[in-house]
Amino acid sequence: MALKVLMLRSKLTPLQQQLTQLTQARDAFAQREAELEADIAAAQTDEERSVVEEAVTAFETERSANQAEITRVQGLIDAMEEEIRSLEQAQTPPAAPAAEQTERRMSPMPIENTERRWLGLTYAERDALLTRDDVRDFLQQVRSMRAAGGSVNGAALGIPDGFMPILRDLTYQESRLLRYITMQHFAGTTRQNIAGVAPEGIWTEMDGALNELELDFHQLTMDGWMVGGYMAIANSVLADDSDLQLATTILTSLAASIAKALDKAIVYGTGGRMPVGFVTRLAASSQPTWWGTNQGSFTDLHTSHVLKLDLGQSSGTNFFAKLVTSLGVAKPNFSDGRAVWCMNRKTHIDLMSRALGFDSAAAIVAGINGTMPVVGGEIVELDFMPDYEIAGGFLSLQRGVEREGVTLETSTQVRWLQNQTCYKVLARYDMKPAIGEAFVLVNYNNVEPTTTATFGKDYANADIGTLIVTTAAGGSGKTTVTVAGADSGAALKYRLGGMACAVTNGEKLGSDWKDLTSGAAVAAAAGQTITVAEVDGAGKATKVGSSGVTVGS
């Protein structure tokens, strides 16, 4: 084990040196940003503004790539340090007798490793952050709002500036795909210049006149769509635990929530109140509404880049020869050259098992490194992908914009009975594939590839539907309830009271609501009102109606 520790330490040193260089490069961005701000202010003509805009685009791309690389290298360092720690702990000799232990306790305590990390910060940086006045005030305000009980509802809390880069970095870490796309940071609507196909040079005499080469540029117009939701945190965490645990719980939970939504949008985003995913681009057979005015000529890729292969019974050479040819449809032009392949875990394991029959050594490497057998490129497992389906290509050509202004809101009423405080996170992004030809979608089990996904339903921004409820006298002390307007096979629930119950779209109904079948008779009393709600598969109300009851004698 000692030799393995030495080997790991030898690998750790260059990584730490690389991280230092990346951090120094990141620190230099502040000066460059100030210079660009001065250039923006000085630009007077359209030509000067165009030059500055290109410089800003290049700067943001470089800064985004630097941050992504810092996150990647730091992750490698953390994993390696943890492995070294585990190996060294395994080598620690058994505990000595009591007398010897007493003597050792008098020895100087080992110095804590200040390079260990908390959410990307060293312990020293973490402690400094948690002692800042704005951070302490923020955490205290969170606790105060919880202590206020029902008297505070929906008050907005601004996240301290020190938390903002942590939340952003955590989102990158939690997301499986965000690190591969080209992300920039802008406020307001922006446009990204994208180079078209490079023209071919013209051969001529050595002293001949040069021909003009036309390089076509098109633009992606980036807007900003909001993604978010709320989550519940136990009040015991808010009240009894340390600032460290409270901050960790809030930041990691919020980042994971945003990351899950981003990953699905990168692949399947519809472009309607959300980004455009690269699979959505491939599936478009005609120019869609989200296609920008200056985005260039639309090309139909739904037959050339969305492929159904009948390889379910194949393995080895027969399987991979056809799969590699199909995946090769994705073109790397203008990308960073790194291929990324998205699939679920079942598909990943299936590929590995087929690779075993083809080349066992390649399968072992693929399993360890997470790379696509034979064809190469990194595999990313996404649980929302269908079985036997591979989507991907050169994700650096999926362009994105992140807006500023993340806010946190809290409420003690939503989960009051569960003794929990709910936090709502808001973030704004937009994404589009710059060049559709860089991507491909393949199903190799003779099934048409899936080009859509189910996203979380936006209940909050839609009105609840209407049910028409009528009653008639049933048996003694009963009323027969008939419901019109419900979806076929939908579940219905009812509640009796002195007046109609107010129900909001997406509301989770409590146990005091009872199951109902239209046309059934239920026990009721004269003067009562029955409220009927239709609920979806998630148990949330989507339609509602009410009526006074007519009771049989």
CATH classification of the domain holding 248: 3.90.1690
The verdict on 26 and 154 lying in the same domain is: no
- As a whole number of angstroms, the distance between CA 419 and CA 236 comes to 8
Question: What's the pLDDT band for 15 if we cut at 50, 70, 90?
Answer: confident
Task: List, in sequence order, the alpha helices (H) in 241-277.
Answer: 243-268
Question: What's the pLDDT band for 28 if we cut at 50, 70, 90?
Answer: confident
Tell me the average pLDDT across 58-85. Answer: 78
Domain end point (choices 408, 438, 456): 456
Query: Long-range contact list for 518-521, CB < 8 A, 24+ apart?
Result: 518/481, 518/482, 518/483, 518/484, 518/486, 518/492, 519/480, 519/481, 519/482, 520/480, 520/481, 521/474, 521/475, 521/478, 521/479, 521/480, 521/481
The verdict on 447 and 322 lying in the same domain is: yes
* pLDDT computed for residue 330 by the predictor: 95
- As a whole number of angstroms, the distance between CA 191 and CA 54 comes to 10
* pLDDT computed for residue 148 by the predictor: 47
Residue 107 belongs to some domain of the structure:
no
Question: What's the pLDDT band for 96 if we cut at 50, 70, 90?
Answer: very low
This prediction has a pTM of: 0.59
Number of domain units in the chain? 3
- As a whole number of angstroms, the distance between CA 115 and CA 124 comes to 9
- As a whole number of angstroms, the distance between CA 32 and CA 29 comes to 5
Residue 208 belongs to some domain of the structure:
no
Phi, psi of 506 (to 5 degrees): 85, 5
The verdict on 75 and 11 lying in the same domain is: yes
Is pLDDT larger for residue 462 or for residue 143? 462
The verdict on 424 and 374 lying in the same domain is: yes
Residue 106 belongs to some domain of the structure:
no
What is the domain range of residue 40? 1-91
The verdict on 508 and 532 lying in the same domain is: yes
pLDDT at 103 over 50: no
Label residue 532 exposed, middle or buried (CB < 10 Å: 0-12, 13-18, 19+). Answer: buried
Domain end point (choices 456, 487, 516): 456
Tell me the average pLDDT across 96-104. Answer: 38
Residue 271 belongs to some domain of the structure:
yes
Alpha-carbon distances, residue 280 vs 30, 45, 276, 438 (angstroms) = 37, 38, 7, 13
Residue 116 belongs to some domain of the structure:
no
The verdict on 182 and 136 lying in the same domain is: yes
Is pLDDT larger for residue 193 or for residue 137? 137
The verdict on 377 and 229 lying in the same domain is: yes
Letter for the amino acid at 60? E
The verdict on 241 and 311 lying in the same domain is: yes
Domain end point (choices 33, 65, 91): 91
The verdict on 174 and 146 lying in the same domain is: yes
DSSP 473: E
The verdict on 340 and 389 lying in the same domain is: yes
* pLDDT computed for residue 213 by the predictor: 62
The verdict on 420 and 490 lying in the same domain is: no
Residue 102 belongs to some domain of the structure:
no
- Three-class DSSP category at 209: coil
The verdict on 335 and 447 lying in the same domain is: yes
Residue 96 belongs to some domain of the structure:
no
Chain-wide mean pLDDT for the chain? 76
Most confident of 259-273, 300-314, 324-338: 300-314
Residue 210 belongs to some domain of the structure:
no
